[in-house]
């Protein structure tokens, strides 16, 4: 069942056309990744789905409602490029922040449950400066999940993480997706990251972003060895080729 | 502990050299009294000095609080409405360019020779440095964190309470530390112009009588009051702002 329907969307920033003729659908529970050239409008697409960016042409529907309504109902969890943790709060308090903003009773048990899910329950009382970049990003993912959203949006969450820790975090992200079954939409520059994590990769053209190709990734087993498999490399090569063609066309 | 001993050694050396200079050059006590004379004067007049210090301190603290409360309120207003800065800053700069010593007689005329005019002088001298520092804090707010609060549909009160106020804390404390010593100066200036009590009054009345040791004792006490006030703020800062280093 389609959870998100994007139909012929166009978004301008004054004279700059960020996205044009953007059409795609996303099924509930999928892990979908957008890849595209630098500055093509990937984050704009994420912001449109997240109801952060308004005033666009075309239609975007999430469960038959506009993204702004869905955001205001707090049915979307966000995880940005930077972890954006409040430095005066510890990890658990940061996870519980959306509850506090929503004026809900702070559910410390639930916060600890999500911290455990991301493997950081032992660090609940640590301040952000006591955590590594990867750990901070995992706290921000736990924060994105605390209000039990329908959709989790990830805007290049691992871009500032080193290669070795990034591989560990990929497995962690897969584990989180497997456990929560949340529709997860990510933006990344890394083709390998996109193929490894997603069951669908949407390849975008250079600005204004349009859908160049939708690639369904059919990899059943995902582990540290997956990246060396023929199937993985074939998908990665296909996406690279589409990206190259998308830039030249 | 080592640091404290070093400081004590430096202080003792200064006092000793001061005493030595007065003895060697035979400086008359009405020009430059020896530390022993200053101490004697302090001890003789300790009750008067103590009670007048309390008066000055009271004016200092109230003026300090008023100035910082106004500057934080203005900074919060500017955080939500940038246009407010263009409106407020010309007035604030004009206020800053008027020497406090020049405006104090007017404050005495308007507010009387009681505590109010001294509180106003202390507040006036603290206001601009406090405003500038707190505004620095508001301007250095992390835009990504503001975005985070927006996506979770936080209202303005939540934004101020959960993000802006904690974010500007390091800058606020820098402002408080600067204005703590300035507030003492402001209260003293107020007392110089028109008062019948307070440390400023004691300094001025003893200056007229050429009772220089008493003047020295009052100056040292007022300086210690400023230092004590500064370190009190510094101590509170260490307890409150535990997530970052001081910005001053």
- Predicted local confidence at residue B237, as pLDDT: 94
Looking at beta carbons, which residues of chain A come within 8 Å of B144? 80, 82, 84
Nearest CB to B153 within list A72, A80, A127: A72
Nearest CB to A74 within list B142, B152, B244: B152
Which value does ipTM take for this structure? Answer: 0.85
Closest CA–CA distance from residue A98 to any residue of chain B (Å): 7
Cβ atoms of A191 and A35 within 8 Å: the answer is yes
Nearest CB to A84 within list B144, B158, B242: B144
Nearest CB to B151 within list A78, A100, A129: A78
Residue of B nearest to A51 (CA): B151
Helix %, strand %, coil % for chain A, to 5?
A: 40, 25, 35
Residue of B nearest to A47 (CA): B151
Q: What is the pLDDT of residues B162-197, one digit of tens each?
A: 999 999 999 999 999 999 989 999 999 999 998 889
Closest CA–CA distance from residue A123 to any residue of chain B (Å): 16
Structure letter (DSSP) for residue B160: I
Interchain proximity B144–A74, CB inside 8 Å: no
Phi/psi for A124 (5° steps) reads: -55, -35
| Nearest residue to A74 (alpha-carbon basis) of B152, B220, B120 | B152
All structural domains of chain A with their residue ranges: 1-75+155-164+185-249
- Predicted local confidence at residue A248, as pLDDT: 58
Average pLDDT over residues B119-136: 94
Q: What is the pLDDT of residues B194-236, one digit of tens each?
A: 888 999 999 999 999 999 999 999 999 999 999 999 999 999 9
The Cα A56–Cα A58 span in angstroms is 7
- Predicted local confidence at residue A38, as pLDDT: 85
Nearest CB to B243 within list A76, A101, A129: A129
Q: What is the pLDDT of residues A40-61, one digit of tens each?
A: 889 999 999 999 988 899 999 9
Nearest CB to B152 within list A82, A87, A98: A98
CA triplet B190, B196, B198: central angle to 5 degrees?
A: 60
Looking at beta carbons, which residues of chain A come within 8 Å of B166? 86, 88
- Predicted local confidence at residue B218, as pLDDT: 97
Residue of A nearest to B241 (CA): A88
- Predicted local confidence at residue B248, as pLDDT: 61
Cβ within 8 Å of residue A172, ≥6 positions away: A118, A119, A138
Interchain proximity B162–A82, CB inside 8 Å: no
Interchain proximity A78–B148, CB inside 8 Å: yes
Interchain proximity B148–A102, CB inside 8 Å: no
Looking at beta carbons, which residues of chain A come within 8 Å of B162? 86, 97, 100-101
Q: Which residue stretches of chain A have pLDDT < 50?
A: none
Work out whether the CA dihedral A174, A176, A181, A185 comes out positive or negative: negative
* Long-range contact pairs involving A222-225 (C-beta distance under 8 Å, separation at least 24): A222/A171, A222/A174, A222/A196, A223/A171, A224/A167, A224/A171
Could you tell me the pLDDT band of residue B247, with boundaries at 50, 70 and 90? low
- Predicted local confidence at residue B245, as pLDDT: 60
Q: What is the pLDDT of residues A189-221, one digit of tens each?
A: 899 999 999 999 999 998 888 899 999 999 888
Interchain proximity A87–B148, CB inside 8 Å: no
pLDDT at residue B246 tops 70 = no
Superfamily of domain A1-75+155-164+185-249 in the CATH hierarchy: P-loop containing nucleotide triphosphate hydrolases (3.40.50.300)
Tell how far CA B64 is from the center of its chain.
7
- Predicted local confidence at residue A223, as pLDDT: 83
The Cα B76–Cα B113 span in angstroms is 34
Q: What is the pLDDT of residues B52-106, one digit of tens each?
A: 999 999 999 999 999 999 999 999 999 889 889 889 889 888 888 888 889 999 9
Q: What is the dihedral of CA B23, B26, B29, B31, to 10 degrees?
A: -120
What percent of chain B shows pLDDT beyond 90? 80
Q: What is the pLDDT of residues B11-33, one digit of tens each?
A: 999 999 999 999 999 999 999 99
Output the pTM of the full model: 0.83
Interchain proximity A88–B158, CB inside 8 Å: no
């Amino acid at each position: 069942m389609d959870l998100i329907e994007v139909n012929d969307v166009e978004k301008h920033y004054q004279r700059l056309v960020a996205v044009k003729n953007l059409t795609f659908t996303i099924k509930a529970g999928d892990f979908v990744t957008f890849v595209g050239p630098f500055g093509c409008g990937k984050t704009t697409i994420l912001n449109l789905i997240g109801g952060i960016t308004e005033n666009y042409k075309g239609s975007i529907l999430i469960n038959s409602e506009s993204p702004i309504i869905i955001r205001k109902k707090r049915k979307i969890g966000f995880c940005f490029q930077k972890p954006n943790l409040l430095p005066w709060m510890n990890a658990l308090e940061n996870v519980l922040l959306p509850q506090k903003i929503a004026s809900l009773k702070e559910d410390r048990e639930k916060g600890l449950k999500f911290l455990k899910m991301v493997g950081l329950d032992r660090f609940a009382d640590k301040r952000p400066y006591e955590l590594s970049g990867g750990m901070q990003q995992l706290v921000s993912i736990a924060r994105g999940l605390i209000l039990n959203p329908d959709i989790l949006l990830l805007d290049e969450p691992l871009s500032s993480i080193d290669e070795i820790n990034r591989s560990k975090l990929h497995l962690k992200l897969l584990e989180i997706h497997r456990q929560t079954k949340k529709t997860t939409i990510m933006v990344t520059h890394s083709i390998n990251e996109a193929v490894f994590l997603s069951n669908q990769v949407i390849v975008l053209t250079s600005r204004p972003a349009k859908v160049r190709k939708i690639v369904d990734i059919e990899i059943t087993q995902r582990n540290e060895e997956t990246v060396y498999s023929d199937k993985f490399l074939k998908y990665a090569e296909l996406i690279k080729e589409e990206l190259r063609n998308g830039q030249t066309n | 502990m080592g640091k404290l001993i070093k400081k004590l050694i430096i202080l003792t050396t200064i006092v000793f050299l001061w005493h030595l200079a007065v003895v060697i050059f035979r400086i008359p006590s009405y020009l430059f009294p020896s530390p022993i004379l200053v101490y004697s004067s302090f001890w003789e007049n300790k009750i008067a000095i103590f009670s007048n210090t309390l008066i000055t301190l009271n004016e200092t603290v109230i003026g300090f609080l008023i100035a910082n409360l106004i500057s934080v309120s203005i900074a919060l207003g500017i955080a939500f409405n940038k246009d407010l800065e263009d409106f407020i800053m010309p007035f604030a700069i004009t206020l800053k360019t008027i020497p406090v010593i020049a405006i104090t007689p007017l404050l005495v005329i308007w507010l009387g020779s009681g505590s109010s005019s001294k509180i106003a002088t202390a507040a006036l001298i603290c206001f601009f440095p406090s405003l500038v520092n707190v505004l620095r804090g508001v301007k250095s707010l992390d835009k990504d964190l503001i975005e985070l609060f927006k996506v979770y549909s936080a209202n303005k009160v939540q934004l101020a309470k959960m993000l802006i106020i904690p974010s500007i804390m390091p800058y606020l404390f820098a402002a408080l530390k600067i204005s703590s010593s300035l507030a003492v100066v402001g209260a003293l200036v107020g007392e110089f112009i028109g008062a019948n009590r307070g440390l400023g009054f004691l300094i001025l009345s003893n200056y007229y009588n050429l009772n220089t040791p008493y003047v020295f004792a009052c100056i040292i006490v007022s300086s210690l009051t400023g230092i004590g006030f500064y370190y009190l703020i510094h101590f509170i800062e260490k307890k409150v702002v535990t997530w970052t280093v001081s910005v001053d």
